Structure 1
Amino acid sequence: MPKFLIERDIPGAGNYTPQQLTAISESSCRSLRGIDTEVQWLTSFVTADKIYCIYIAPDEEVIRRHAFEGGFPANVITQIHSVVDPNYADA
């Protein structure tokens, strides 16, 4: 199943409290349970004004639906084709 990087524009996200991040996480998980059991949220990275998420999903439409139902943006959705890391340099 394809893997996607989702860019969410959320001004001030870097200043969110642990409680606010927990609330976002709970909303995301609730929304996912109602959409598709095949969709997996792997991880998210919080920056000053954005949250970047990695998901495994059948297609972009499922991710857009998840964002709509969860009440948060999915401004840019990009399919990930490959992953590289420092281990490639050691080959």
Structure 2
Amino acid sequence: MPTFMIVRDIPGASAMTEEQASQTVAMSEGTLTAMRGEGKDIAQERSFVVGDNIFCVYNASSAELIHEHSKRTGIPLTSVREVAGEIQHDTSGY
């Protein structure tokens, strides 16, 4: 299944409280569960909060499913890019 990197521009994202983040995660996960129940292949791996942005890694059968997830949750979506490859780093001995 393709992997996608998405960007969400959310002013004040890094100032979100733990409660706000938990509510957002619950809403997102509920929507993802519903979509999978409809036979749609979509899963979110992780998210990174950086300033006024949230960067998320998704696995989905298409970018359209990520747009659908955004519309259903009301969480803004700035860009969706399919990951072309991954570069592995091993700095464990550093």
TM-score (norm 1): 0.90
Question: What is the CA RMSD across the aligned residues, in angstroms?
Answer: 1.0
Partner of 1:52: 55
Shift of 1:48: 1.1
Partner of 1:35: 35
Of 6-15 and 78-87, more deviation after overlay is shown by 78-87
TM-score (norm 2): 0.87
Fraction of identical pairs, as percent: 31
Could you list the runs of 4 or more consecutive aligned residues of structure 1 that deviate by over 6 angstroms after TM superposition?
Answer: none
1:11-59 CA deviation, whole Å, 9 max, x = no partner? 0000001111101100100111121353111000011101000000000
Stretches of structure 2 that go unaligned for 5 or more consecutive residues are none
SS of residue paired to 1:25: helix
- Matches of 1:34 and 1:64 in 2, distance apart? 15
Q: Identify, as 1 or 2, the structure richer in helix.
A: 1
Partner of 1:86: 89
Number of aligned residue pairs: give it: 87
Stretches of structure 1 that go unaligned for 5 or more consecutive residues are none
- Matches of 2:88 and 2:71 in 1, distance apart? 32
Partner of 1:17: 17
